[in-house]
Amino acid sequence: MKILVTGGTGMLGSAIIRLYHQEHELHFIGRNAAIVQQLSAKYPVTGHVADLCDLDAISKIFADIEQDKSNDEQIDAIIHCAALSSPWGAYQAFEQGNVQATRNLLAVAEQYNIQTFVHISTTSVYFDFTDRWNITEQDPVASPFCNDYAETKYLAEQAVLASSIHSVILRPRGIFGPNDQAIVPRLLAAIKGRYLLLPSAKNPVLDLTYVDNVATAALLACAKGPSLPKGEIFNITNGEPMPINSVLAALLTALGYKARLVTLPYALIAPIIALNEYIRRRLAHCPEPKITVYGAGLLHFHQTLNIEKANQLLGYQASVSITEGIRRYVDWTKNKTV
């Protein structure tokens, strides 16, 4: 297949390139010109530098791909990984990066009659600061949403569903692995001396997903998307829900950190975190707090996902376990190549 990957310089996009560059003709879009050049030099893929908020730039990329005389085949599928993924930021930035960028991409994809659009969303749309077990795709999303990221990712889903393009939506949970710029780096930054302070003693059971497994799910969605009803939504996880403290302890040990997990009472610490967030949003430049209300909630409330639908309709199975994923992530940190 000829596949266009957005967010190709990010964790998931680069994993798709690393894993599937030999099986498919891959084009990718990224904003970081240096990383686009590195990936294009390392793998037999074609990189394009553009901001998805720039409709003209996207149109030019599609035109250039279509006019490539070396291969007459048009793009078979788009895997839309690009997003502003952060627990903190201005709503306008999230709206532009997650909603408007998706609308722009859909508009051009419709113009070129792209067959399949695989949209990478998030299970954050379910998170409502309560314990939720075995969440299925038919269960309600949060109301209100936990933050601007979750809200705009859901709005992006609605844009995808409203499009005439045949789409598949994936909602992966807690992606980690090489090129992770969110989960693990933020946890490590929270280490103070020999301690990692956690805002809860609850030790919630959570699902995580190694990035290569999400990449596999995305390619399965490309292959099987045309045979599925339009707009099918799939939860994607490793299928290994486990207490978060066990995961953190294993990760710290594998990375060589000797920090000990120290828990704080959530009922006491949560209002302080909320007050700190309230104050920072009103300061110049809105500096990001060490931990947000959302971040604290993730480390306190149980949340597990049901992935039976992905197992049955996509044929998805996580091939890389959490334990193996941690080992691979640690190996990557020693070299940190693209």
Mutual orientation of helices 244-255 and 322-333 as an angle, nearest 10°? Answer: 30
Q: Where are the domains of the chain?
A: 2-333
The tokens for 65 are: 């791909």
- Position 71 pLDDT exceeds 60: no
Higher-pLDDT residue of 200, 192: 200
Q: Is 206 helix (H, G, I), strand (E, B) or coil?
A: strand
pLDDT in tens, 243-283: 999 999 999 999 999 889 999 999 999 999 999 999 999 99
Higher-pLDDT residue of 257, 219: 219
The tokens for 209 are: 């997903």
For the chain, how far is it from start to end, CA to CA, in angstroms? 23
Mean pLDDT of the chain: 94
Type of residue at 291: I
Nearest to 59 by CA among 116, 8, 108: 108
Burial of 27 (0-12, 13-18, 19+ CB in 10 A): buried
Q: What is d(CA 297, CA 199) in angstroms, rounded to the nearest whole number? A: 8
- Position 70 pLDDT exceeds 70: no
Q: Residue 12: its pLDDT value, please? A: 97
The answer to whether 62 and 112 are in contact (CB under 8 A) is yes
DSSP string covering 105-164, please? HHHHHHHTT-SEEEEE--GGGG--SS-EEEE-TTSPPPSS-SSHHHHHHHHHHHHHHHSS
Type of residue at 39: L
- Position 176 pLDDT exceeds 70: yes
Supply the residues annotated as catalytic. 149
Asked: is 2-333 a CATH 3.40.50.720 domain? The reply is: yes
Q: Dihedral through CA 187, CA 190, CA 191, CA 193, nearest 10? A: 170
- Position 72 pLDDT exceeds 80: no
**Average of per-residue pLDDT across 202-216:** 97
User: Which pTM value belongs to this model?
Assistant: 0.95
